[in-house]
């Protein structure tokens, strides 16, 4: 099939490459000419496991091409996948300017029947708006060309995006006609061969499904973070509680880990966008309001724990910070809790020597104006002379570190663990003070 993907970020590049890997002829279009030029040379703009080989192989096989020309993309693909960003606007709503822009661009140049698939996460009613914008441009140009619209939200997770895309747990599409369903069913057939459900619904329900999924996951995280905070107060161990409740099949063990709060490009903006759309419609979803409030509070309460350990006297203290990305296996720094934690510690006079296995380059511009932040070469170098280690992102390389070497490097053997990575007994045996989340400190 001939497919064009418009907007080559995390979602566009991964899905475009996965469509190509399954034998489709894919054209990737983006307005960022620097990104497109680098991609043409096989240089991948983000860190995502397995993505580089996927892109390179498919370029070599001639199934994956890149362009900045919207006309070339619209001429190429029977299916036009919109995967541009929908960032948060100043009032919490989804900023739809890029989606709208692409819709007008497509309408201006469309000469043959096309199926326009909206993969970006967009509020209910956006596909209708895209349809109207395309029709407006076609009418303006006085052309006689028809098209269909479909919603196809993306559920990939950064860090395992290629796997998620090649083997999705489900594919959701929202369509207006059976003929579009048949074409999209054919497109996704190789991805759902192992039995993953292909769920067809109306367009508005499909748009809503994506927000409901992310809001549910965010709610689970905030719920567990609050359970951890209660455990802290009452002297219970949240990790045991987690095992206890996770074994209930109605609850399940996934997504129950407490931490410093969720970040990233999706959960915070999507929950806020759903809150806004819902309020605009006259309904206040108070659960979602609390989910966001609890999330904001979580990174603050963790940082306060660090400060309280030093009786709030942070002047001259030096911290090693392990992990900056909002989660492991990505270099994405969007809404990463590390930003607040590092800024808050340095605001009070502390120095932070930071290290992340993949996110150093994306984090540097965010801290460039802060003279109290230094980027280290590796996880051990930043520990030199540190008063404490603050673990923010649970990268694998932090799981089983050389505790003896760490103790030798640090001024004081203290670990603040924002992800409950370690066994408190093991840490105590190595002679560390250990402050974590929802478990008694040692």
Please give the positions annotated as active site: 266
| CA nearest neighbour of 390 among 361, 426, 415, 407 | 415
Residue closer to ligand NAD by CB (options 16, 413) is 16
Q: Which helix (H) or strand (E) segment is 433 a member of?
A: strand 433-435
- CB of 173: closest distance to ligand NAD in angstroms? 15
- Structure tokens given for 361: 């380059």
Residues 311 and 299: their CA atoms lie apart, in Å, by: 18
- CB of 213: closest distance to ligand NAD in angstroms? 10
- CB of 329: closest distance to ligand NAD in angstroms? 12
- CB of 253: closest distance to ligand NAD in angstroms? 22
Residues 173 and 152: their CA atoms lie apart, in Å, by: 5
Residues 322 and 342: their CA atoms lie apart, in Å, by: 11
Residue closer to ligand NAD by CB (options 24, 67) is 67
Residues 60 and 64: their CA atoms lie apart, in Å, by: 8
Residue closer to ligand NAD by CB (options 5, 392) is 5
| CA nearest neighbour of 228 among 239, 217, 213 | 239
- How many Å is the Cα radius of gyration of the chain? 24
Question: At how many degrees (to 10) do helices 203-234 and 286-309 cross?
Answer: 40
- CB of 78: closest distance to ligand NAD in angstroms? 19
Residues 165 and 196: their CA atoms lie apart, in Å, by: 12
Residue closer to ligand NAD by CB (options 328, 376) is 328
Distances (CA, A) of 154 to 48, 117, 165, 206, 207: 16, 11, 9, 11, 10
Show Cβ contacts of residue 308 under 8 Å, excluding neighbours closer than 6 positions. Answer: none
Cross-strand bridge partners of residue 66: 28
The residues of the shown chain that bind ligand NAD, judged by CB under 6 A, are 6-12, 29-32, 35, 83-86, 98, 101-102, 120-121, 154, 156, 158, 265-266
Residue closer to ligand NAD by CB (options 7, 388) is 7
Residue closer to ligand NAD by CB (options 96, 345) is 96
∠ CA 377-383-385, rounded to 5°:
125
Show Cβ contacts of residue 432 under 8 Å, excluding neighbours closer than 6 positions. Answer: 403, 407, 413, 414, 415
- CB of 332: closest distance to ligand NAD in angstroms? 7
| CA nearest neighbour of 255 among 266, 246, 247, 264 | 246
- CB of 333: closest distance to ligand NAD in angstroms? 12
Residue closer to ligand NAD by CB (options 8, 54) is 8
φ/ψ bin of 349: left (φ > 0), alpha (ψ from -120 to 50), beta (otherwise): left
54 burial class (0-12, 13-18, 19+ CB within 10 angstroms)? buried
- CB of 45: closest distance to ligand NAD in angstroms? 8
- Please identify the residue of the shown chain whose CB is closest to the bound ligand NAD: 9
- Structure tokens given for 177: 């006609």
Residue closer to ligand NAD by CB (options 132, 308) is 132
């Amino acid at each position: 099939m001939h497919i064009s993907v418009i907007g080559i970020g995390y979602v566009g590049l991964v899905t475009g490459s996965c469509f190509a890997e399954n034998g489709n002829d894919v054209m990737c279009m983006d307005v960022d000419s620097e990104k497109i030029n680098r991609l043409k040379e096989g240089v991948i703009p983000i860190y995502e496991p397995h993505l580089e080989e996927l892109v390179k192989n498919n370029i070599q096989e001639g199934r994956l091409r890149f362009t900045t020309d919207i006309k070339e993309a619209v001429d190429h693909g029977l299916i036009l996948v919109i995967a541009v960003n929908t960032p948060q606007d100043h009032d919490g709503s989804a900023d739809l300017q890029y989606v709208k822009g692409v819709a007008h661009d497509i309408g201006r140049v469309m000469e043959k029947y096309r199926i326009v698939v909206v993969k970006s996460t967009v509020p209910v009613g956006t596909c209708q708006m895209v349809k109207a914008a395309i029709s407006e441009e076609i009418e303006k140009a006085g052309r006689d060309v028809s098209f269909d619209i479909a919603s196809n939200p993306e559920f990939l997770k950064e860090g395992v995006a290629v796997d998620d895309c090649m083997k999705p747990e489900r594919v959701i599409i929202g369509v207006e006609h059976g003929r579009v369903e048949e074409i999209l069913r054919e497109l996704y057939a190789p991805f759902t061969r192992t039995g993953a459900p292909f769920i067809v619904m109306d367009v508005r329900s499909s748009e809503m499904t994506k927000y409901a999924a992310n809001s549910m996951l965010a709610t689970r995280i905030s719920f567990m973070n609050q359970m951890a905070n209660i455990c802290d107060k009452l002297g219970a161990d949240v990790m045991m509680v987690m095992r206890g409740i996770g074994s209930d099949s109605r609850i399940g063990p996934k997504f129950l880990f407490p931490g410093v709060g969720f970040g990233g490009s999706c959960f915070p903006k999507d929950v806020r966008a759903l809150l806004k759309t819902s309020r605009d419609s006259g309904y206040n979803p108070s659960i979602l309001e609390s989910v966001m409030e609890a999330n904001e509070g979580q990174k603050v309460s963790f940082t306060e724990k660090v400060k309280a350990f030093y009786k709030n006297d942070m002047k001259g203290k030096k911290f090693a910070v392990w992990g900056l990305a909002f989660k492991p296996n990505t270099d994405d720094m969007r809404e990463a809790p590390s930003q607040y934690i590092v800024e808050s510690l340095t605001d009070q006079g502390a120095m932070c020597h930071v290290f992340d296995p993949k996110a150093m380059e994306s984090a540097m511009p965010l801290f460039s104006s802060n003279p109290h932040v230094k980027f280290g070469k590796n996880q051990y170098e930043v520990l030199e002379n540190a008063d404490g280690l603050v673990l923010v992102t649970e990268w694998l390389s932090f799981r089983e570190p050389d505790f003896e070497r760490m103790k030798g490097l640090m001024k004081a053997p203290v670990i603040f663990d924002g992800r409950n990575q370690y066994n408190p007994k093991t840490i105590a045996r190595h002679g560390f003070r250990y402050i974590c989340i929802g478990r008694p400190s040692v």
